[in-house]
Amino acid sequence: MTAFAEAASPHVMNTYGRLPIALERGQGVRVWDVNGKQYLDALGGIAVNTLGHNHPRLVPALQEQIAKLIHSSNYYHVPLQEQLAAQLVERSGMTNVFFCNSGLEANEAALKLARKFGHDKGIEKPVVVVYEKAFHGRSIATLSATGNPKVQAGFGPLVEGFIRVPMNDIEAIRKATEGNPNVVAVFFETIQGEGGVNPMRIDYLQQLRKLCDERDWLMMIDEVQCGMGRTGKWFAHQWAGIVPDVMPLAKGLGSGVPIGAVVAGPKAANIFAPGNHGTTFGGNPLAMRAGVETIRIMEDDGLLENAAKVGAHLKAALERELGSLPGVKEIRGQGLMLGIELTKPCGALMGRAVDAGLLLSVTADTVIRLVPSLILTEAEADEIVALLVPLVKALLAE
Ligand X SMILES: Cc1ncc(COP(=O)(O)O)c(C=O)c1O
- Contact residues: ligand X, CB under 6 A: 102-104, 107, 135-137, 189, 193-194, 222, 224-225, 250
Which lies closer to ligand X via its Cβ, residue 30 or residue 369?
369
Compute the half-sphere exposure of residue 42: CA atoms within 13 Å on the CB side of its CA.
Answer: 29
| Cα dist from 35 to 11, 39, 349, 350, whole Å | 22, 12, 21, 19
Catalytic one of 135, 187, 188, 272:
135
Q: Are 97 and 80 in contact (CB under 8 A)?
A: no
94 vs 262, beta carbon nearer ligand X:
262
Annotated catalytic residue: which of 116, 162, 187, 222? 222
CA angle 106, 295, 193 (to 5 degrees): 45
Shortest spacing between CB 280 and ligand X, in angstroms: 17
In the complex with ligand X, which residue's Cβ is closer, 307 or 391?
A: 307
CA-angle at 161, arms to 155 and 165, nearest 5°: 95
Of 165, 161, 185, 102, give the one whose Cα is nearest residue 137.
102
Main-chain phi, psi angles of 304, to 5 degrees: -70, -45
DSSP 190-214: SEESTTTSEEPPHHHHHHHHHHHHH
We find the least distance from the C-beta atom of residue 356 to ligand X, in angstroms, to be 25
Task: Please report how close the Cβ of residue 364 comes to ligand X at its closest, in angstroms.
Answer: 12
User: At what angle are helices 170-177 and 202-215 packed, to 10 degrees?
Assistant: 20
Measured from the CB atom, the residue of 105 and 293 that comes closer to ligand X is 105
Residue nearest to ligand X (CB): 103
User: Is the Cα torsion angle 200, 202, 206, 209 positive or negative in sign?
Assistant: positive
Active site residue 222: yes
Q: To the nearest whole angstrom, how small is the minimum distance from the Cβ of residue 120 to ligand X?
A: 26
- Smaller CB separation from ligand X, 107 or 306: 107
Nearest distance, CB of residue 102 and ligand X, angstroms: 4
Of 135 and 234, which has the nearer Cβ to ligand X?
Answer: 135
User: Out of 116, 233, 251, 267, which one is annotated catalytic?
Assistant: 251
- Give the shortest CB-290-to-ligand X separation in angstroms: 14
Among candidates 332, 193, 255, which has minimal Cα distance to 56? 255
The amino acid occupying position 124 is E
Q: Give the residue numbers annotated as catalytic, written as ranges.
A: 135, 222, 251
